[in-house]
Amino acid sequence: MFDDQQNAMSEADRCRAGTVLVVDDDPGVIEALEALLEDEGYHVVTACNGRAALSYLAENEAPCVILLDMMMPIMDGYGFLAEQRQHPALSRIPVVVLTAGANSNRVRALCPTAFLSKPVDVDALLAFLDEHC
């Protein structure tokens, strides 16, 4: 039994308390972020568009941070942020916008917590996650 407790503790030690929700329609971006964040000890969940992300948030415990692409089909990041801001519990979740081609003034008007251009500065992203998760 002691070995089971020790294994559980070492697993808990390796995992940070935070879950990160990655919302992006690019499988390569999702795969890269999952690998990076899981290696850093974060639990990663993904959604391929804003509508799927809202569904996830409605049915699960809130993540510590949302990493959000802006250019996606079905519901883009702009639509997601507008909806997220309408729900008090969801609006408290920090959002980091990760985008290569979105209009930064339009994005900033929606007041994300942070804005990182693609390709993402890994050190800046990890520093943000360290602070919020």
pLDDT tens-digit readout, 69-82: 998 999 999 999 99
Nearest to 74 by CA among 95, 94, 53: 53
Nearest 5 degrees, angle CA 41-CA 121-CA 112? 85
pLDDT tens-digit readout, 23-53: 999 999 999 999 999 999 999 999 999 999 9
Residue 13 CA to residue 30 CA, distance in Å, equals: 25
- H/E element holding 52? helix 50-59
Residue 68 CA to residue 54 CA, distance in Å, equals: 12
Looking at domain 17-132, its CATH architecture is 3-Layer(aba) Sandwich (3.40)
